[in-house]
Amino acid sequence: MASLHQFLTFIFSSIYIINGSCSSNSTPLSFSCGNGLEFRYPFWQRSHNTHTYGYPSLGISCINNTPIIQLDKHLYHVKRFNNSEKTLVVSFYELNDTICPMASHGVEMNASSRFLTYSNEVKMIHFFYNCTVYPSGVEPIKCLQIGAKHAYVFLEGSLPEVDLKGYCESFVTIPVMNKSVDGSLATSFGEAMNEGFELKWSPNHDCRLCEAGGGFCEFDDNNIQKFSCSCGQGRRYANCRNQGPVTNEFKIGLLSVGLVFGCLSIGGMVLSILKKRKNSVYKKGFNPLPNDGR
Ligand SMILES: *[C@@H]1O[C@H](CO)[C@@H](O)[C@H](O)[C@H]1NC(C)=O
Ligand SMILES: *[C@@H]1O[C@H](CO)[C@@H](O)[C@H](O)[C@H]1NC(C)=O
Ligand SMILES: *[C@@H]1O[C@H](CO)[C@@H](O)[C@H](O)[C@H]1NC(C)=O
Ligand SMILES: *[C@@H]1O[C@H](CO)[C@@H](O)[C@H](O)[C@H]1NC(C)=O
Ligand SMILES: *[C@@H]1O[C@H](CO)[C@@H](O)[C@H](O)[C@H]1NC(C)=O
């Protein structure tokens, strides 16, 4: 009887080890802002902590249940995304379904938006505001007319010959979806802006290698050059499958590998025994984001 008791104690302490150290390298926790969109890696939730799984430009903040992404200095509402196509659709945050919106800024895609590019369904449109030139045959935007100052919008490649910039107080170029630019832009531009535009995300070279080996890319939000490839349990290698170049966490890594194999075999044994007993004890755990602010 005593030996059975010892055996059970061993099993239950094994379960703690399994929960603590052997959780599989599963997809990092998903999150939602409460509006139904469920994000997961390579998206990550912005919080006070800075080191997290994901691509640096795919940090999401939740504001009033709305998922917000920042490109360069500006905020955009994330309206949709598609994990299999690796695309997301965003619109200017400040628009908020305004019927006759003005584009207060262009869209910068530079260092801060690495890992993101326009999808090939994006077209650029050019706005000119407060113009004192009236090119013939060009329909002004009626709802943005201020006295004799006209506003115009043109699809990329169809700017008039006139040097509009010389006669307009401001101009800005923004992306929209090609499917929203049918017909007269001067009346449909608001809808097109509210529809937003599509971006594609893709890993860089190191990150692609990392993911191909079953790992997750990690970046330091304060220094997006600081890349590491997480293989779970705090192990970091360039490639989780063949463990690539060895990092200074090599020893810890070896230990973890041993632990994982050990856990797997013990885990298998424990699970088969538990199946015969009750299955309410073992709760499958996620590998939580190390710093997701919860
Ligand atoms: C994502 O894209 C795939 C491939 O085009 C499509 O089949 C799927 O319906 C899309 N999913 C969503 C949620 O739009
Ligand atoms: C957008 O409009 C809704 C309702 O009209 C309002 O509750 C919300 O605060 C607005 N958001 C912004 C960013 O203006
Ligand atoms: C992106 O480009 C704009 C204009 O070219 C510049 O003002 C901004 O500082 C750049 N941002 C970064 C992060 O490089
Ligand atoms: C257009 O002119 C109006 C009034 O003169 C001014 O309030 C507004 O800021 C101007 N808008 C732009 C985009 O230049
Ligand atoms: C939008 O662009 C894509 C890719 O260039 C093209 O396949 C599609 O037919 C276009 N759709 C419309 C409505 O123009």
Q: Mind listing the pLDDT tens digit for each residue in 228-238?
A: 898 887 787 77
pLDDT tens-digit profile of 164-218? 999 999 999 999 999 999 889 999 999 999 999 999 999 988 899 899 988 999 8
- Return left, alpha or beta for 244; rule: phi > 0 is left, psi -120 to 50 is alpha, else beta: left
Probe residue for ligand 3, chosen from 110, 113, 114, 115 as the CB with the greatest number of ligand atoms within 8 Å: 110
Look up the domain containing 251 and give its range. 2-28+204-276
* Range with top average pLDDT, 2-16, 155-169, 272-286: 155-169
Q: Is 140 within a domain? A: no
Q: Is residue 135 part of a domain?
A: no
61 and 187 housed in the same domain: yes
Q: Is the CB of 112 under 6 A from ligand 3?
A: yes
**Whose atoms come closest to the Cα of 169: which ligand?**
4
Of residues 4 and 17, which shows the higher confidence score?
4
Does residue 69 lie within any of the structural domains?
yes
The verdict on 19 and 62 lying in the same domain is no
Q: Does residue 216 lie in a domain region?
A: yes
Shared-domain flag, residues 178 and 225:
no
Query: Based on the domain organization, do 96 and 230 belong to the same domain?
Result: no
CA torsion through residues 37, 38, 44, 49, sign: positive
Interatomic CA distance for residues 259 and 152, integer angstroms = 66
Shared domain for 109 and 17, answered yes or no, is: no
Residue 74 within any structural domain of the chain: yes
What's residue 208's pLDDT?
A: 92
Closest-CA residue, ligand 3 atom 3, reads 108
Task: Give the closest residue (by CA) to ligand 3 atom 4.
Answer: 108
pTM above 0.85, yes or no: no
Q: Whose Cα sits closest to atom 7 in ligand 5?
A: 121
Claim to verify: residue 178 and residue 216 sit in the same structural domain: no
Name which of 162, 200, 164, 157 is nearest 181 in CA terms: 157
Residues 120 and 186 in one domain: yes
| Distance from the alpha carbon of residue 122 to the mean position of ligand 5, in angstroms | 9
Q: In this model, does residue 252 exceed pLDDT 80?
A: no
- Arithmetic mean of pLDDT, 220-242: 78
**Residue 253 pLDDT greater than 60, yes or no:** no
Residue 222 sits in the same domain as residue 269: yes
pLDDT of 129 strictly over 60: yes
| Residue at 153 is within a domain | no
Q: Does residue 120 lie within any of the structural domains?
A: yes
Instruction: Look at the chain and report how many structural domains it folds into.
Output: 2
Measure the CA–CA gap between 269 and 264, rounded to whole angstroms.
9
Instruction: Tell me which of 118, 121, 179, 197 to substitute to probe ligand 5's pocket, judged by most ligand atoms within 8 Å of the beta carbon.
Output: 121
Lay out the sheet containing 116-118: strands in order across. 44-45, 59-63, 66-71, 74-82, 87-92, 197-201, 116-118
Q: Let me know whether 208 and 110 are in one domain.
A: no
Please report the pLDDT score of residue 150 as a whole number: 97
Q: Where would I find the beta strands (DSSP E) of the chain?
A: 31-32, 38-39, 44-45, 51-53, 59-63, 66-71, 74-82, 87-92, 116-118, 122-131, 150-155, 168-177, 197-201, 216-220, 223-230
Q: Closest-lying ligand to the alpha carbon of 112?
A: 3
> Looking at residue 18, what is its pLDDT?
35
pLDDT of residue 228: 87
Nearest-angstrom CA–CA distance, 93 and 114 = 20
Residue nearest to atom 10 of ligand 1 (CA): 82
Any residues with CB less than 8 A from the CB of 221 and at least 6 apart, and which?
Answer: 46, 50, 51, 52, 56, 59
Q: What's the confidence (pLDDT) of residue 144?
A: 96
Mean pLDDT along residues 135-164: 94
Nearest ligand to the C-alpha of residue 93? 2
> Which pair of tokens denotes residue 144?
């943005």
- pLDDT tens for each residue of 58-76: 999 999 999 999 998 899 9
Residue of 48 and 156 predicted with greater confidence:
156
Shared domain for 87 and 180, answered yes or no, is yes
Which residue out of 57, 71, 105, 108 has the highest number of ligand 3 atoms within 8 Å of its CB and is therefore the one to mutate? 108
Residue 90 and residue 194 in one domain: yes
- Is 85 among the domain residues? yes
Asked whether residue 226 falls in the same domain as residue 118, the answer is: no
Ligand 5: residues whose CB is within 6 Å? 120-121, 178-179
Instruction: Report the nearest-CA residue for atom 14 of ligand 1.
Output: 82
- The alpha carbon of 131 and the centre of ligand 4 are apart by a number of angstroms equal to 10
Residue 251: pLDDT band (50, 70, 90) is very low
Average pLDDT for the chain: 77
SS3 3: helix
CA of 78 to the centre of ligand 3 (A): 21
d(CA 6, CA 174): 69
**Residue 78 reports pLDDT greater than 50:** yes
